[in-house]
Amino acid sequence: MLYHSTRGLDNSKNFSEVLHAGLAGDGGLFVPKFIPQLNLEILNQWRHLSYEELALEIISLFSGDCFSRAELSEIVIESYSGFHHELKSPLIKLEDNHFFLELFHGPTLAFKDFAMQVIARMFAKTLQKRDLNINIITATSGDTGSAAVEAFKGISNVNLYVLYPHERISQIQRKQMTTSNAKNVKVFAVQGTFDDCQSIVKELFADKALVSDVNLSGVNSINWARILVQIIYYFSAFYQLKDLSAGNLSFSVPTGNFGDAYAGYISKRMGLPIKKIIVATNKNDILDRVFKTGVYKSDSVSKTLSPSMDIQVASNFERLLFDLLNNDTKEVRRLMNNLSNKGHFNLEKKILTRISKDFASRAVADSDTIATINHFYNEREIVLCPHSAIGVRVAKDFIETGETVVSLGTAHPAKFRETVERALEVSIPIPPALEAIMEKQESVRVIPPNKHKVAEEIRKSFLEEN
Ligand SMILES: *Cc1c(COP(=O)(O)O)cnc(C)c1O
C-alpha cells in the first residue's frame, strides 16, 4: 500500500515512511492510495475474531510489507495486554436502540491508548530495523499526551516532546504526563490554548532544517497510523451488536480534531454497514458549522467542561476534504491556503450534500453536558465523562427517529473527576491504577506560546546523543 499527500506534492510513500513522517513534506496529510473494500463474506468471516485478531487483519490491509504477520501479531498482542477489560472495547446497552462503546479501559483511561500503544511498538520495531533515532513531538489537549507518554516512555531510539495548554487540562491528565520520570520524555506547558500548541508543532515541521537534522516526527491524529488503528473498534462494535438490520447503524462521536470520526468514516468506506457518523462537538463547533453552512472558519477557542475537545482547527478535516474534492490536490491547496491567509474557506452546496450522505452533526452546550451526566447517573447509575456525555446527548436526537446508535465512550469519568463530581455531587474515586501517580514528583516546563524553547530543547538533546 502506498500513500500520497492531500496536497499532492509528497507522494508514493510506504507505511513506515508515513508512520515516521507524521505530517507530509508539503504540509498536507497522508492518505492511502485506495481504500480496501471488504465484501459480506469477509465481514462475516471476521465476526468471531478476538480484538487482537481483528486488529491484525485490518492493520495488515494498510501496512504493506512493513511488518511480517508474526511481527504485527506480536505488536498487537503486547499493545492490548495492559488493557483492563478482556474485550478491550466492550459495548453496553444504554437504552433501547442506544449503545455505548467503552474505549477507556487502556492504561491512561482514554481512547487514545488504542492507537498509541500500537504505534509506539511500530516505531520501536521499524527504528530498530533501520538503526534510526527519531524525535517525536506532539500537541495535546490532554489525552493524546498522556497516552503518548505512557506508550513511548523508555522506548529506545525515540525522544518524545509533549506540548499541552497550561492550566487547561485536568489534574489527572497533567499527572499522567509529568510523572513518568522517563529520560526520553520532555513535557512543556504552553501559555496558550491547544491551537497554540498545535501551531507550534506545525511551525516546527515547517522548519525543514530542524526536521531533517533531528528526524522530527509527530503522533497527533495527523499521523495516519493512528487513524488506521482506530478503525478497528468500529468493527468491534459492529460485531458486538447482534441482529442488526444492515444500514441502520450510526455512530455518535465526541469530536475535536476529527481523527476518531474520520476513522469511523473510513470503516464505512471499507464496507462496514454504517448509516452515519454523527459528529458531536462542544461549544467549539467549527465542524458543526461547516457541515451546516459550508463555511470553515476558526473562532477563538472556548474553555468548556470537555477540554479534550476544545479545538477549533480540526486537522483531519483536510483528509475528508481531499475525498470530497475527488482527490483534487490543487483545490485542497487553494482552500488550505485560504484558511491560513484569510482565516476561512467556503464549500459549495454540492459538497455539503455529499457530506450529509455520510455525516450528521450537533453542538452541545456545557449545561446540556451536565444534564446528560445527571440523567444517566440517576436513571442507570452510569457515570459518563463530559466528552462521552456530549456524544450520548447528540445520539438521543437520532434514536428518537428510530435509528440504532453506538455512542463512543472516549474517556473514563475518573479522568475528569473535578467536573463529574461537581455535576453529580458525589465523589468519584481515583482508579487504583492511577493512585500511585498522584503522589509522584512532577516534571514540566512552562513556556511562552512560541516554538523557540521547544526547538532549542530538541536540538540540545539531539546533540547530547550524537
Ligand atoms: C481526543 C479526545 C476526543 C476528540 O477526538 P478527536 O479524534 O480529536 O476528534 C474526544 N474525547 C476525548 C476524551 C478525547 O481524549
Tell me the pLDDT tens digit for each residue of 212-239. 899 999 998 889 999 999 999 999 999 9
Which atom of ligand 1 is least distant from the CA of 411?
13
Number of other residues whose CB lies within 10 A of the CB of residue 176: 25
Residue 15 predicted with pLDDT over 70:
yes
Residue 243: Cβ-neighbour burial (10 angstroms; 0-12, 13-18, 19+): exposed
Tell me the pLDDT tens digit for each residue of 298-318. 888 899 999 999 988 899 999
Identify any residues that bridge with 5 across adjacent strands, giving them in sequence order.
Answer: 30
Count the alpha carbons within 13 Å of 14 in the hemisphere toward its beta carbon: 8
Mean pLDDT of the chain: 94
Asked if residue 297 belongs to a domain, the reply is yes
Residue 46 predicted with pLDDT over 70:
yes
Nearest CA to ligand 1 atom 2: 308
**Average pLDDT score over residue span 451-465:** 81
183: which 3 cell numbers? 529520560
Q: What share of the chain in percent tops pLDDT 90?
A: 82
Which atom of ligand 1 is least distant from the CA of 311?
8
Q: What is the DSSP string of 108-127?
A: TSBTHHHHHHHHHHHHHHHH
* Spatial distance between the Cα atoms of 169 and 368, rounded to a whole number of angstroms: 21
**Reported pTM:** 0.95
Return the best residue to mutate from 308, 318, 394 for the ligand 1 pocket (most ligand atoms within 8 A of CB).
Answer: 308
Asked if residue 215 belongs to a domain, the reply is no
**Average pLDDT score over residue span 416-432:** 92
Asked if residue 18 belongs to a domain, the reply is no
In this predicted structure, what is the pLDDT of residue 145?
96
- Which residues neighbour 357 within 8 Å (Cβ) at sequence distance 6 or greater? none
Buried b (16+ CB within 10 A) or exposed e, 112-143: bbbbbbbbbbbbbbbbeeeeeebbbbbbbbbb
361, containing H or E segment: strand 359-363
Residue 463 predicted with pLDDT over 80:
no
**Average pLDDT score over residue span 227-254:** 88
Asked if residue 75 belongs to a domain, the reply is no
Residue 464 predicted with pLDDT over 80:
no
Return the best residue to mutate from 101, 150, 255, 311 for the ligand 1 pocket (most ligand atoms within 8 A of CB).
Answer: 255
Identify any residues that bridge with 345 across adjacent strands, giving them in sequence order.
Answer: 296
**Average pLDDT score over residue span 79-100:** 96
Asked if residue 10 belongs to a domain, the reply is no
Residue 337 predicted with pLDDT over 60:
yes
Least confident window among 39-43, 143-147, 341-345, 454-458: 454-458
* Spatial distance between the Cα atoms of 393 and 363, rounded to a whole number of angstroms: 10
State the CATH number of the domain containing residue 356.
3.40.50.1100
Confidence of residue 466 (pLDDT cuts 50, 70, 90): low
* Spatial distance between the Cα atoms of 33 and 11, rounded to a whole number of angstroms: 9
CA 183 / ligand 1 centre spacing (Å): 27
CA 466 / ligand 1 centre spacing (Å): 36
**Average pLDDT score over residue span 269-284:** 96
In this predicted structure, what is the pLDDT of residue 243?
57
Nearest CA to ligand 1 atom 1: 308
Which atom of ligand 1 is least distant from the CA of 111?
15
In this predicted structure, what is the pLDDT of residue 244?
57
CA 281 / ligand 1 centre spacing (Å): 10
Residue 379 predicted with pLDDT over 70:
yes
**Average pLDDT score over residue span 229-258:** 88
Return the best residue to mutate from 143, 144, 177, 226 for the ligand 1 pocket (most ligand atoms within 8 A of CB).
Answer: 143
Asked if residue 185 belongs to a domain, the reply is no
42: which 3 cell numbers? 469477509
**Average pLDDT score over residue span 354-359:** 97
Q: Are 389 and 424 in contact (CB under 8 A)?
A: no
Cα distances (Å, whole numbers) of residue 172 to 32, 192, 380, 403, 433: 36, 19, 26, 36, 12
Residue given cell 474485550 in the structure block: 87
User: What SS3 string covers 145-187?
Assistant: HHHHHHHHCCCCCEEEEEEEECCCCCHHHHHHHHCCCCCCEEE
CA 111 / ligand 1 centre spacing (Å): 8
Overall domain count for the chain: 1
Confidence of residue 330 (pLDDT cuts 50, 70, 90): very high
The pocket around ligand 1, CB under 6 angstroms, is made up of 110, 112, 143, 221, 254-261, 308-309, 387, 410-411
Which atom of ligand 1 is least distant from the CA of 142?
15
Q: What is the DSSP string of 83-110?
A: -SSTTSS-EEEEETTEEEEE---STTSB
26, containing H or E segment: none
Asked if residue 352 belongs to a domain, the reply is yes
Q: What is the DSSP string of 204-270?
A: HHH-HHHHHHHTEEE-STTSHHHHHHHHHHHHHHHHHS-SPPTT-EEEEEE-SSSHHHHHHHHHHHH
392: which 3 cell numbers? 450520548
The angle formed by the CA atoms of residues 63, 65 and 68, to the nearest 5 degrees, is 95
CA 372 / ligand 1 centre spacing (Å): 18
Pairing state of beta strands 158-165 and 134-139? parallel
In this predicted structure, what is the pLDDT of residue 34?
97
> What residues act catalytically?
112
Nearest CA to ligand 1 atom 8: 257
Which atom of ligand 1 is least distant from the CA of 388?
11
Query: Residue 254: what are its φ and ψ, rounded to 5°?
Result: -60, 120
The residue segments making up the domain with residue 386 are 91-106+225-424
CA 462 / ligand 1 centre spacing (Å): 31
- Which residues neighbour 51 within 8 Å (Cβ) at sequence distance 6 or greater? 80, 87, 88, 89, 232, 236
Asked if residue 245 belongs to a domain, the reply is yes
The angle formed by the CA atoms of residues 263, 406 and 417, to the nearest 5 degrees, is 90
